[in-house]
Amino acid sequence: MANTLLLTYFGPFPGVPVNPTVALAEGAVRALNTARPDLRVVARELPVSYDGSSAALRAALQEVQPDALISLGVAVGRDVVSLEQVAINLDSAGIEDNDGDRRCDEPIVPDGREAYFSSLPVRASFERLRAAGEPVEISYTAGTYVCNHVFYEGQRISRELGLSIPAGFVHVPAICADGEEDADGEEATEGVELTAHRDAGGVVRDEQGVPYLPESTVVRIIAEIASDTLPAVD
């Protein structure tokens, strides 16, 4: 039976009117359908809401019963793709979620584990992709907004459901259409202004503007991480 990958992504949230993870998830599904016909890839949008994302993630895990979970989110201002290493039990951000919920120093789960490490092959993927010249890093903070929340909840809920699966989170930078990145990394996507929020894993840069990576580069990296997570069996 085919292995199933659950790939989650997000829609807009304050400061990000168009979330690049929508297009990236779509691209990764297409790329994996071609490169890995042995995999079944199910992509699901999660609401940018603390409570809503937990409920949607639980429903998706229950329904799809995946063999691996990879969640995507954008971190505006980062200039490489981040393999997140650690999720912490903390919701705390200066911006509201899409339900108007603003949290300050609240545990995701009172008395829950303080942290989970990613169970994706973070180090191995990073080393392999970096050696291939791809723009990647290992990151030790996914922020304290909804992305970190989903990362934490993916680990917690999958265990609770008895799914012993690799699960983790990948933060992506802003993206541009192929060939449109400027030499100085300035804004390349017409009409879409993105705002970096440090709590949401973003990097606030005063002068240089928001860095972008070509969409096809980020799609390729996501597909490679998925392949490392669920290698082909022959």
Closer to ligand PCA at the Cβ: 122 or 194? Answer: 194
Place of tokens 């503007």: 209
Least Å from the CB of residue 5 to ligand PCA: 19
Contacting residues toward ligand PCA, per CB under 6 A: 10, 13, 19, 21, 48, 73-75, 143, 145-147, 200-201
Least Å from the CB of residue 142 to ligand PCA: 7
Least Å from the CB of residue 96 to ligand PCA: 12
137 burial type by CB count under 10 A (0-12 exposed, 13-18 middle, 19+ buried): middle
The identity of residue 108, as a single letter, is: I
Map residue 148 onto helix, strand or coil. Answer: helix
Asked if 72 contacts 7 with a C-beta cutoff of 8 angstroms, the reply is yes
Sheet holding 39-46, edge to edge: 39-46, 3-10, 68-74, 167-172, 81-84, 136-139
Closer to ligand PCA at the Cβ: 39 or 152? Answer: 152
Least Å from the CB of residue 9 to ligand PCA: 8
Closer to ligand PCA at the Cβ: 36 or 78? Answer: 78
- The alpha carbons of the chain give a radius of gyration, in whole angstroms, of 17
Closer to ligand PCA at the Cβ: 15 or 135? Answer: 15
Least Å from the CB of residue 48 to ligand PCA: 5
Q: Active-site residue among 153, 171, 176, 224?
A: 171
Closer to ligand PCA at the Cβ: 39 or 143? Answer: 143
* CA 39 to centroid of chain Cα atoms: 20
Number of residues assigned to the chain: 234
How far apart are the C-alpha atoms of 232 and 187, rounded to whole Å? 38
Q: Active-site residue among 84, 134, 153, 215?
A: 84
Is 176 tagged catalytic?
Answer: no
Q: Active-site residue among 147, 149, 153, 176?
A: 147
How far apart are the C-alpha atoms of 194 and 7, rounded to whole Å? 23
In angstroms, the Cα distances linking 226 to 13, 87, 102 are 26, 19, 33
Known catalytic residues are 84, 147, 171
